[in-house]
Structure 1
Amino acid sequence: MSTGMRKPLFALLISILLFTVFLVPASAADTTPTGETPSGIPYNRLEREIDAYVNSYIGKSTPGAAVVVTKGDRIIFSKGYGHADLERRTAVDPAATVFAYGSINKTFVWTSVMQLVEAGKMRLDQDIRAYFPKEIAEKLRYDKPITMLDIMSHTAGYEQHPLSTFTLSAENLTSLEETLLSNQPEQIYEPGQVIAYSNFATALAGLAVEKVSGESFSDYEMNHILKPLGMNRTSGHPTLADHPDLREAEAAGYAVKQEGGFEARAHYYVPLYPAGAMEGTAEDLARFAMALYAADSPLFTRPETARTMFSRSYTPNEEILSNAHGFWEYRAEPHVVGHSGNVKGFSSNFAVVPEEQLGIVVLTNTEIEQKLTSGIINLLVQDKARVTEEPVPAADLSPSGELAGYYVQSGGTYSTYHEVTNYLGLIKVEAKGEHDLTLSVMGMSGELKQTSPNVYKFAKSDNPRFERLAPVLYAEISDGEVVRLSKGIATDILPLKGSRSLPALISYLALAILAIVFFLLAPFVLLIRWLLRIRKGALSTSAGSAGGRLLAATVLCGTLLVVNILYLLVNAMINENVTVGQMNFGVALNWVLTLLAAGLFVFSLVKSRSVPQSKWQKAGRAVTGALFAGFALLLADWNFFHFIP
């Protein structure tokens, strides 16, 4: 090309570039918003602050993470950290890497419900029996209706089902209705009275969406939320059947090893899928965040629907943050709502600040990870310097001594033999001075200061995990009795009462230890005695000897019963893949061994009645009978003979 031709061409290129620059809006020249986050971080320092925080935990609390921040209708920060797959050394990409959202999926259930409420097809205060088959209604213990608001606030009254929330095989999955009908936990609390986090109740809300809309929940979710928002790399189907291409981009899930490093988790499925089966990218979830706070949201036809959804719908006390139509309220100003998530191999958190039009998404590929999932949210929305409270005169505060005692978490299983595991981590509450409290649980302890009548807020602890356990507690007292200590989120703390009081638990434990030691050692004693009699040639076939053999058989049944009970308890604590069939087989074995032992003991009495016995023989028979009877009654009281439906 000649020099003469180059000059006009160069001038033309310069003209095109200048023309293009002047066509670009001024706002596009700098996409960083002005101002600062609710915590006080200037937006122009956002990347620096997030990088510094996340990089201190990558490779320690999680192999990888994706963080996305939205402001208005734009993503203003999106970054992947670490590895999506340690074996393949795959980097995390917030636009492409697919994570499990966990319980953030629940916010899609609540959004679906609010869409149907807006359309006039559902009511938040309607008895849910109107939506479901009679098999579900028949199992309800209380006549008081369960409303959708009760389900949203996790106060429907359901205990946790002893079955695992996860399954290893997709072949074990059935329709949502079949799953709910086959795995119904007991309703153990009156609706609206106790917060007990419930995946089952959330899945019930998903079934209500199915019944009203005529679509499966995953189809409704896809057609009314994901597609309209352009969430093209997200699926709520439990097997990703509607989006199989996402499987290739799935991050590997991990757990932290005690000795350090990470252990890969097998891929699990979630039968109660509306409660936590959703998978997708961080940027897709950010689109959901923007749609929730947008004034012209494609999710709703009226702006007031979203405002209603974000307004508080339940709290045990007005001074405690709690629930906004299924979204949890976060400690920050202005008002922040969201939801965290945790499934096998993955943890997540999601928050929206409607007043600021701010959204925050944090996804990690490690289970029970809180350093990043909670830490990033707090970093951006929580400014402790702004939270000031007027001191309350001591004369207006309540005496804390009446709260002293032992408590247990509400969110457990109490109608099956799994109840025992709830009492392995009792919470001890002690008065500190006249108005404050000290809590101790599982080797942790912390102090809470009373800031207003019966409201206690975290003051200090030697363990950083303690503040997350009890950031604030409200003591609900009725007729001089403590009803509950409520932190407003997930689970309440209930006082031990009646047959589960501390003196009763100690007596049960003493009896259980005595019976277990006796029936584990007795067979060895009998064996030694039998061997000694062989050496002396003193074996007999008399009626008395027959009675002795029957008593020995009774002891052997007691030993087998003890072994089975210990196996059931260990299985309940460590085997997350146990089935109802396996659990009920253990219960059936309890029945067989108990009835067999009772029959053998009675026959041993009959056979030995006409034969002279030494006082030691009589004492041994009496101790065996008393211990076995006491142990059997104890097992009955703790549901070891109760078949799991």
Structure 2
Amino acid sequence: MKRASPITDGAGETAPKDPLAAPAPEAAPIELRPLPAPPPVASAPIAPLPMEPGDTGLGEILVAPTGPAPTPPVSSPDAEAYIDGLVPTALARGGLTGAVVVLVKDGQVLLAKGYGYADREQGKPMNAARTLVRPGSISKLFTWTAVMQLVERGKLDLDADINTYLDFRIRDEYGQAITLRHLMTHSAGFEESSKHLFAAQPSQLMALGDYVKAVQPQRIYPPGQVPGYSNYGVALAGYIVQRVAREPFDDYIEEHIFAPLGMRHSSFRQPLPKGLAADMAKSYVAPGAPPIPFELVNAAPAGSLSTTGEDMARFMIAHLDQGRYRNDTILQTYTAQAMQNTLVRPIPGLDAMTLGFFRHDSYGPITLGHGGATEAFQSDLVLLPEHKLGVFVSASGPARAGRALHRDLIDGLLRRYYPAREPPPPTLVTAYLHGRQIEGRYESSRQSSGNFLAIGRLFATSVIELNSDETVSVSSLRKPDGRVKRWREIGPYLWREVDGDSRLAAKVIDNEVIAVSSDDVPAAMWLQPVPAWRSPGWIVPLLYLAAIVHVLALALWPVAALVRHRTQRPLLLDSRERDLRLLTFIGLSGNVLLALLWVWILSRAEVSVRSLDGSLDPLIRIAQLLGLLSIATAVIAALNLRAAWSMPVRRLRRACAVAIAVACIAVVWLVFALKTMQWSLVY
């Protein structure tokens, strides 16, 4: 049973396999208020068949098949036994420090339990009632709840131009205003915004208003047309809440959501208040590594929540009970229903967006959810409104292992209690034709395209291929064991996973493929074809060839000088030709330094998004200066080629001059095509 996958805020899924770790410590004592377990399902005893002496019975059918095994009822003992069998093993195998798991049903807490350590050095166990975790982007659900509270009070209009609520202006583009509805469905058209998303030190934290004004990203899509997940858009919505409510965002959330729900161990404040800081779980990227520092999020409404498992239980119960928790109400029934109903379905046949939730409703039980990822924690929240069931899990430690834990746990619970029983439909006769049609290179709609982070698009594309058995494969969509999934067509431009349940679909307009996506990916983004003019299929080889030419030219230059010295053969060049040759050598050195500097900058950003706090800006300016010098290098290399061509025939020298000139021109094209020369340092 598949569901909406979490959005990750950090690196992709290509991390190496995590090493095996020591067995996980014993789980902390259970802290829950379970419902009485329903009586077991009665079943008639099966009498054994008579057996002859010496007969083992291995060759006989003892029980006639009676259909699929009965689905167990959702109960505290059964769920706890299942989760206890999965989580400690996942912690041990993945090197995870700890995890908290919460299960609510029909307004009650069935399970709220901690596993592993909150503090490994101190031997402090995870505790669902007191240990705080950072659920990352699940924070957005609180921001959207706050927005809807103000909508139902008549203070906000989902379809008004957001500039009417701001004290600065979102730049006009595409001739259409951005609305809160666009922000809540991640369709405002903003490019990915990374600068100042995290702060390295408390002193570098920015006020929410200062943040949204300083890092306003470009709008790269018309509003309402392309899904593009945006942390900036959520921060903008939080700032609107702050301005309209006329109180700080943190205060508003505490007064209007935390207090009614009794969430006394939750906070958006950074750093944490003293009363909560001692209970913050520590996370380690690897055994023996120091704990990751408390992460400081400038886009606070998008991801700064600190909370406990039991507090998240209250929040889930409120949304499952149409905005009510016990005797308190955080949303009116009609408002809560509006948040849960389908609003946008980017690709027919796949999952949808509501006003803030990712909604899975293409098959199986309807689920609403949101995931969250920080450097320290991997979390997921899933609600089943029809069954009044909610699941929250948060794990600390290596990101890949944390994602695997909450994927396996939540998918396992859904399969256990709500198994899909639909028969697999036949493959369509159009499988080959439509498979050929969607073949090609694709990139995520969640991207940076107007700044140097656009370089990342070269190495993050997905390749769709048609296989010999008329199934299709998407290089970025893989099974838990790392194998690429295969899909067969079951409806027009709709594919189902072979040996699985997930779907793949394409959006086609006028026989042109606009986008492809899967319900393995939230509806807040899709894959779109890469334009041929900047396809990595030829740009990456060009980049490598240019680098090889530069390195070989610089390496062979002193070798040639040494050979001439040993053989007493002087370099037969006039003074102008010698100058051109020397300047070309200097220019090639500058281009190599330019490449190494960008590699270093991007590697820093890959290691931690916290490095994009502005501290790299001086190096970016130096790289841009070297980019300008690459133009002069290309001109000098062209003049050197002209001089070599006018000399008596020396084929090797001409060939080298041609290769160097072409490589230098390629560098200039790459400098501008990869958006490294943008004057603005907003990225």
The alignment's TM-score, normalised by the length of structure 1, stands at 0.83
Structure 1 or 2: larger helix share?
1
**Would you say the 8 A contact 2:193–2:230 is kept in 1?**
no
Match of 2:268 in 1: 236
1:496 aligns with 2:496: no
The farther-off stretch of 412-421 and 530-539 is 530-539
The farther-off stretch of 588-597 and 60-69 is 588-597
> Aligned in 2, Cα 1:506/1:289: closer, same or farther, shift over 3 Å?
closer
Q: Measure how far apart 1:245 and its partner are.
A: 1.4
1:294 aligns with 2:330: no
Question: 1:371-410 maps to which residues of 2 (within 5 A)?
Answer: 371-382=404-415, 383=417, 385-388=419-422, 391=425, 394=428, 399-410=434-445
Partners of 2:490 and 2:460 lie apart in 1 by 27
Q: Measure how far apart 1:223 and its partner are.
A: 1.3
Q: Measure how far apart 1:571 and its partner are.
A: 4.0
Q: Measure how far apart 1:454 and its partner are.
A: 1.8
Which of 347, 356, 380 is the equivalent residue of 2:378? 347
The farther-off stretch of 274-283 and 513-522 is 513-522
Q: Measure how far apart 1:473 and its partner are.
A: 2.0
The farther-off stretch of 194-203 and 65-74 is 65-74
**Would you say the 8 A contact 1:71–1:357 is kept in 2?**
yes
The farther-off stretch of 561-570 and 182-191 is 561-570
Q: Measure how far apart 1:118 and its partner are.
A: 0.6
Match of 1:446 in 2: 485
Partners of 1:30 and 1:156 lie apart in 2 by 43
**Would you say the 8 A contact 2:193–2:231 is kept in 1?**
no
Match of 2:257 in 1: 225
Secondary structure of the structure 2 residue equivalent to 1:399:
helix
Aligned CA-pair RMSD? 3.4
Partners of 2:661 and 2:420 lie apart in 1 by 67
Match of 2:281 in 1: 251
1:478 aligns with 2:505: no
> Aligned in 2, Cα 1:131/1:498: closer, same or farther, shift over 3 Å?
farther
Partners of 2:35 and 2:659 lie apart in 1 by 82
Match of 1:324 in 2: 354
Partners of 1:404 and 1:610 lie apart in 2 by 44
Match of 2:497 in 1: 458
Secondary structure of the structure 1 residue equivalent to 2:406:
coil
Secondary structure of the structure 2 residue equivalent to 1:255:
coil
The farther-off stretch of 531-540 and 331-340 is 531-540
Partners of 2:672 and 2:282 lie apart in 1 by 44
Partners of 2:270 and 2:34 lie apart in 1 by 41
The farther-off stretch of 244-253 and 485-494 is 485-494
**Would you say the 8 A contact 1:105–1:275 is kept in 2?**
yes
Secondary structure of the structure 1 residue equivalent to 2:405:
coil
- The structure with the larger Rg is 1
1:426 aligns with 2:453: no
Q: Deviations over 1:337-367 (max 9, x none)?
A: 1212111111112222333333322222223
Q: Measure how far apart 1:52 and its partner are.
A: 1.9
Match of 2:300 in 1: 273
1:627 aligns with 2:666: no
Partners of 1:182 and 1:497 lie apart in 2 by 31
Partners of 2:586 and 2:649 lie apart in 1 by 20
**Would you say the 8 A contact 1:391–1:451 is kept in 2?**
yes
Q: Measure how far apart 1:458 and its partner are.
A: 2.1
Match of 1:117 in 2: 151
Match of 1:589 in 2: 625
Partners of 2:366 and 2:639 lie apart in 1 by 72
Which of 83, 91, 104 is the equivalent residue of 1:58? 91
**Would you say the 8 A contact 1:238–1:278 is kept in 2?**
no
1:161 aligns with 2:161: no
1:94 aligns with 2:121: no
Unaligned runs of 5+ in 2: 1-31, 42-69
The farther-off stretch of 587-596 and 77-86 is 587-596
Q: Deviations over 1:159-217 (max 9, x none)?
A: 22243743321111111121122223222222222222211111111112112211222
Question: 1:607-626 maps to which residues of 2 (within 5 A)?
Answer: 615=650, 620-626=656-662
**Would you say the 8 A contact 2:587–2:630 is kept in 1?**
no
The one-letter amino acid paired with 1:47 is E
Q: Measure how far apart 1:34 and its partner are.
A: 3.5
**Would you say the 8 A contact 1:224–1:299 is kept in 2?**
no
Partners of 1:575 and 1:292 lie apart in 2 by 34
Partners of 1:426 and 1:29 lie apart in 2 by 47
Q: Deviations over 1:571-626 (max 9, x none)?
A: 444454144414532442333432453575588799x7999666455554454333
Higher relative contact order (CA 8 A, sep 6+): 2
> Aligned in 2, Cα 1:555/1:68: closer, same or farther, shift over 3 Å?
closer
Q: Measure how far apart 1:262 and its partner are.
A: 7.2
1:361 aligns with 2:392: yes
Q: Measure how far apart 1:387 and its partner are.
A: 4.2
**Would you say the 8 A contact 1:413–1:419 is kept in 2?**
yes
Q: Deviations over 1:351-384 (max 9, x none)?
A: 2233333332222222341333233333333456
Partners of 2:427 and 2:594 lie apart in 1 by 59
Partners of 2:344 and 2:258 lie apart in 1 by 28
**Would you say the 8 A contact 2:33–2:111 is kept in 1?**
no
1:516 aligns with 2:516: no
Partners of 2:91 and 2:594 lie apart in 1 by 48
The farther-off stretch of 526-535 and 197-206 is 526-535
Partners of 1:97 and 1:316 lie apart in 2 by 38
> Aligned in 2, Cα 1:621/1:58: closer, same or farther, shift over 3 Å?
closer
The one-letter amino acid paired with 2:85 is A
Partners of 1:109 and 1:448 lie apart in 2 by 37
The alignment's TM-score, normalised by the length of structure 2, stands at 0.79
1:208 aligns with 2:235: no
> Aligned in 2, Cα 1:34/1:553: closer, same or farther, shift over 3 Å?
same
Q: Deviations over 1:545-580 (max 9, x none)?
A: 334333333333333334334444444444541444
Partners of 2:154 and 2:108 lie apart in 1 by 32
> Aligned in 2, Cα 1:638/1:221: closer, same or farther, shift over 3 Å?
same
Partners of 1:541 and 1:180 lie apart in 2 by 59
The one-letter amino acid paired with 1:362 is V
Secondary structure of the structure 2 residue equivalent to 1:457:
strand
The one-letter amino acid paired with 2:212 is L
**Would you say the 8 A contact 1:32–1:76 is kept in 2?**
no
**Would you say the 8 A contact 1:292–1:299 is kept in 2?**
no
Q: Measure how far apart 1:389 and its partner are.
A: 5.8
Partners of 1:162 and 1:73 lie apart in 2 by 39
The one-letter amino acid paired with 1:238 is Q
Q: Deviations over 1:379-405 (max 9, x none)?
A: 333456444268478469883331122
Partners of 1:530 and 1:60 lie apart in 2 by 57
The one-letter amino acid paired with 1:228 is P
Partners of 1:36 and 1:349 lie apart in 2 by 30
1:282 aligns with 2:317: no
Which of 32, 37, 53 is the equivalent residue of 2:36? 32
Unaligned runs of 5+ in 1: 1-27, 462-466
Calculate percent identity across the aligned residue pairs: 26
Q: Measure how far apart 1:290 and its partner are.
A: 1.6
Partners of 1:557 and 1:514 lie apart in 2 by 17
1:303 aligns with 2:333: yes
Partners of 2:654 and 2:154 lie apart in 1 by 75
> Aligned in 2, Cα 1:149/1:270: closer, same or farther, shift over 3 Å?
same
**Would you say the 8 A contact 1:316–1:486 is kept in 2?**
no
1:103 aligns with 2:137: yes
The one-letter amino acid paired with 1:249 is D
Secondary structure of the structure 2 residue equivalent to 1:400:
helix
